[in-house]
Chains A and B, each alone.
Chain A
């Protein structure tokens, strides 16, 4: 089985993150960039499937030059190779255009299974898995907290607010995963060394048969017109643990619909 794992480099959600003042895109240059957290679970799931069933795991990233750091980091966990789509024309791409690029690269690779995180911590739109599956004409098993593979048959437990749904499909298919699905491994020192020597193929939009005007700002279906920083946090309400502290707390929780 050939598994393609989608990996996105995002600004570290634990640090300060900003949009650029000139074009309202994510400021990646001044940020501390990391692998999108949910994608580490996707990599781990792919590696576990490979350990159980054999096959090949390929990392696929669309992003600027510096995304190479995240690709090497992903490879240090154990995947066999990586494909990096990098092209200046991609800057400013919306989710629809990005899905076109990813779908074209996946089609070129010929994957039996595509695994990705259920969302990225920068965009958080959660639509890319569906868009890619639609473009490729394959099943989308989204929001998995568990994945089992039996030959060409895939079964997931789709996490919902109330519990989970069991969804099945046959390969080729796409599975998106939440962080409940596994516990990603740390790279090993030997893995880091080996990652430096693993094949990393770089593709341009031309290599995928996509014109520059179909992506980036020109091809975007949505535009961020303006943005402003989130206002600083207000001081919270303090409830003293006095005689009526308990009832005041309950009143507050009820008013905020927490209870």
Chain B
């Protein structure tokens, strides 16, 4: 399959995509099946991406980031997702976890934390959801009680990507002023990652609850204003949703590419099944939906890069791209027939992986709510 034709804003962005393809083909694609089968977290692969400068792309060069616009960063995510969705999702989550410090931290906090966060050796986690607080994020109950020189945090966070693997955690919790955002190190006493969830897909991405049992957090680890946490969470999610939209397009493209190759090769009734209109039209619809999805997330990204409001556009992109990924991956299984239903081919994995894209970073029902409210 030919690589996706991309119109990139700069020569350095084109070089970056070239580097990403080289690393993704050389280091990620050959390992994904094995790591997914064993539910093994690819920590070394994240280090490799970090050393290549791919874990800080959308952040300022001044603090060690790559200085790339979202338009470029998201296409990097798309390329990664086409080879290994869990890794691409991990990069997106890491960016989400760096965002509160980058956008709401004081100059002192940014100088102290961002170079390490963006430098490639550390991995971040983002703790907003709770067992009883999912779509209704504002109902969270984790408490941070002032204890003199900081806070003591108690509660349980749920569905935390990189739980037990991350080096730092953004924890949204209730302080006397309202919801606030705290930055915790992995080694903080009382921060207790629980047993990993046994998930339907994305098995190489570790997801678990984080129990906070009297974890002490110094006052200088408060990001933004006391009580300003919900605003941070919503802002961060705009970027996170675009990240998932790009991941979804990468996954869908991988499924289409595989299905097209298979349909060209597979002979029935004396010709390739691609030549049968029923299959050819199905693949044509998949290709068209993917092209539309890519255009939609890039359109939202360009709004963000221009500093314009983009919450509704990010929600539309997340909704459309992930629904597209679900449809395309399901159809890819159909194109392969029985072969698509067994793990000898990757499309059944793609289909399992697509499902979660419709659920996390705000369910697609919540995305519709965001869009409807913007009308």
- Chain A positions near chain B (C-beta within 8 angstroms): 185-193
Contact B16 A186 (CB under 8 A): no
B38-86, CB < 8 A from A = 48, 51-54, 57, 66
Contact A188 B12 (CB under 8 A): no
Main secondary structure of the interface of A (DSSP, over half): helix
Tell me, rounded to whole Å, the shortest Cβ–Cβ distance linking B98 to chain A.
16
Pick 16 A–B contacts, CB within 8 A, sort by A.
A186-B23, A186-B26, A186-B48, A186-B52, A188-B51, A188-B52, A188-B53, A189-B15, A189-B19, A189-B52, A189-B53, A189-B57, A189-B66, A190-B53, A190-B66, A191-B53
Contact A189 B48 (CB under 8 A): no
Quick one: which of B19, B27, B51 contacts A192, CB cutoff 8 A?
B19
Q: Which residue of chain B has its CB nearest to the CB of A72?
A: B15
Residues of A within 8 A of B22 (CB): 186
CA distance A189 to B51 in the complex (A): 9
Interface string of B19-40 (1 = CB under 8 A from A): 1001100110000000000000
CA distance A186 to B16 in the complex (A): 12
Highest count of chain A CB atoms <10 Å: which of B12, B15, B66: B15
CA distance A193 to B66 in the complex (A): 10
Residues of A within 8 A of B16 (CB): 189, 192
Tell me, rounded to whole Å, the shortest Cβ–Cβ distance linking B77 to chain A.
14
Highest count of chain A CB atoms <10 Å: which of B51, B52, B54: B52
Q: Which residue of chain B has its CB nearest to the CB of A187?
A: B19
CA distance A191 to B51 in the complex (A): 10
Contact B48 A192 (CB under 8 A): no
Residues of A within 8 A of B57 (CB): 189
Tell me, rounded to whole Å, the shortest Cβ–Cβ distance linking A70 to chain B.
13
Residues of A within 8 A of B66 (CB): 189-190
Quick one: which of A185, A189, A191 contacts B54, CB cutoff 8 A?
A189
Quick one: which of B12, B26, B27, B52 contacts A187, CB cutoff 8 A?
B52
CA distance A188 to B49 in the complex (A): 9
Contact B12 A192 (CB under 8 A): yes
Tell me, rounded to whole Å, the shortest Cβ–Cβ distance linking B94 to chain A.
15
Q: Which residue of chain A has its CB nearest to the CB of B51?
A: A188
CA distance A190 to B66 in the complex (A): 8
CA distance A153 to B335 in the complex (A): 63
Q: Which residue of chain A has its CB nearest to the CB of B52?
A: A188
Contact A192 B15 (CB under 8 A): yes
CA distance A145 to B282 in the complex (A): 52
Residues of B within 8 A of A188 (CB): 19, 51-53
Tell me, rounded to whole Å, the shortest Cβ–Cβ distance linking B223 to chain A.
27
Tell me, rounded to whole Å, the shortest Cβ–Cβ distance linking B212 to chain A.
35
CA distance A188 to B51 in the complex (A): 7
CA distance A193 to B19 in the complex (A): 12
Tell me, rounded to whole Å, the shortest Cβ–Cβ distance linking B57 to chain A.
8
Q: Which residue of chain A has its CB nearest to the CB of B56?
A: A189
CA distance A187 to B22 in the complex (A): 10
Q: Which residue of chain A has its CB nearest to the CB of B50?
A: A188
CA distance A188 to B54 in the complex (A): 8
CA distance A192 to B48 in the complex (A): 16
Tell me, rounded to whole Å, the shortest Cβ–Cβ distance linking B51 to chain A.
6
Q: Which residue of chain A has its CB nearest to the CB of B12?
A: A193
B327-342, CB < 8 A from A = none
Residues of B within 8 A of A191 (CB): 53
Q: Which residue of chain A has its CB nearest to the CB of B68?
A: A189
Tell me, rounded to whole Å, the shortest Cβ–Cβ distance linking B22 to chain A.
7
Residues of A within 8 A of B52 (CB): 186-189
> Top 6 closest A-B pairs, CB basis?
A189-B53, A188-B53, A188-B52, A192-B15, A190-B53, A186-B23
Contact A186 B12 (CB under 8 A): no
Highest count of chain B CB atoms <10 Å: which of A185, A186, A187, A189: A189
CA distance A140 to B52 in the complex (A): 34
Q: Which residue of chain A has its CB nearest to the CB of B57?
A: A189
Tell me, rounded to whole Å, the shortest Cβ–Cβ distance linking B84 to chain A.
16
B194-235, CB < 8 A from A = none
B98-132, CB < 8 A from A = none
Q: Which residue of chain A has its CB nearest to the CB of B11?
A: A196
Tell me, rounded to whole Å, the shortest Cβ–Cβ distance linking A78 to chain B.
12
Contact A186 B19 (CB under 8 A): yes
Residues of B within 8 A of A189 (CB): 15-16, 19, 52-54, 57, 66
CA distance A189 to B59 in the complex (A): 14
Residues of A within 8 A of B19 (CB): 186-189, 192
With contacts A186-B51, A188-B19, A189-B19 known, what are 19 further pairs, Cβ within 8 A? A185-B51, A186-B22, A186-B23, A186-B26, A186-B27, A186-B48, A186-B52, A187-B19, A187-B52, A188-B53, A189-B15, A189-B16, A189-B54, A189-B57, A190-B53, A190-B66, A191-B53, A192-B12, A193-B15
